[in-house]
Amino acid sequence: MSKEIHTVINEYLPLRDVVFQTLRQTILRGELKPGERLMEVHLAERLGVSRTPIREAIRKLELEGLVVMIPRRGAVVASITEKDLKDVLEVRRTLEILAGEVACERITPELLKELEIAGEEFGRLKGTEDVNLLAAADVRFHEIIYTATGNARLIHILNNLREQMYRYRLEYLKDTGSRQRLLREHQEIFAGIRNGDKKAVSAAICQHIDNQEEAILSGLREKPV
């Protein structure tokens, strides 16, 4: 486990939370791979902290399902499983549709323009080899829709799901063949919101998420994780 870990910098967070967020982001972004051991001593040395916040962070990551404890091996990064994916997408599908329908009513001209620009930016980046950059563009498109709802609770829940989806999103975007389809789906969602067509938005978002689920499950079944 020699790869670099980028520390989350936030002077307002307690040290234990900084360590937790750092390890969480490292796992979500795929920098720590499924099955990789989390050795307290090594992590403490690399982050320049004691073992106590490392141990606390691992315990919280276990509660989130990102880490599992294995006898005689200790803490390891949890595998990406079909059950986890289906559970997350089942909730996300319903809430994304709700967000899209509400956005049809509430989106401002300024946010609509931002959404159009975000969709175009994803299109420009679809050939990139930097999957994290492409994922950020995909996240940005969806975040604008969330913001357009003006519903703080819905935004909070969707952002939390977005974090849980990050590992799956990266797996999906690694398949360059899926990117043109994803771009087309973004365009359909944008057109529906622009036209205030809730039915079209709902159908486009549902298809968008169903396609992701099918593609990621196919990838999971082709290789051990």
Question: Is pLDDT above 80 for 169?
Answer: yes
| 225 vs 82, higher pLDDT | 82
Residue 2: pLDDT band with limits 50, 70, 90: very low
The answer on pLDDT for 39 being more than 90 is: yes
Backbone angles phi, psi at 70, to 5 degrees: -120, 130
23-37, 51-65, 180-194: which has the highest mean pLDDT? 180-194
What residues pair up with 77 in beta bridges, in sequence order?
67
| Distance in angstroms (rounded) separating the CA atoms of residues 118 and 128 | 16
Average pLDDT over residues 165-189: 89
The predicted pLDDT at position 79 comes to: 84
Instruction: Inform me whether the pLDDT recorded for 38 exceeds 50.
Output: yes
Share the mean pLDDT of the chain. 89
Checking if the pLDDT of 225 tops 60, the result is: no
* pTM metric for this prediction: 0.79
68-122 confidence digits (pLDDT tens): 999 988 999 988 788 888 988 999 999 999 999 999 999 999 999 999 999 999 9
The CA-atom distances, in angstroms, between 193 and each of 18, 140, 144, 190, 199 are 38, 16, 12, 5, 10
Confidence of residue 8 (pLDDT cuts 50, 70, 90): low
Which of 193, 16, 184, 158 is closest to 88 using CA atoms? Answer: 158
Tens digit of each residue's pLDDT (9 = 90 or more) over 137-162? 999 999 999 999 999 999 999 988 88
Average pLDDT for 175-203: 96
Segment holding 39, helix H or strand E: none
pLDDT tier for residue 224 given thresholds of 50, 70 and 90: low
Instruction: Output the pLDDT for position 160.
Output: 84
Residue 1 has pLDDT above 70, yes or no: no
List the domains of the chain with CATH numbers: 15-77 (1.10.10.10), 82-222 (1.20.120.530)
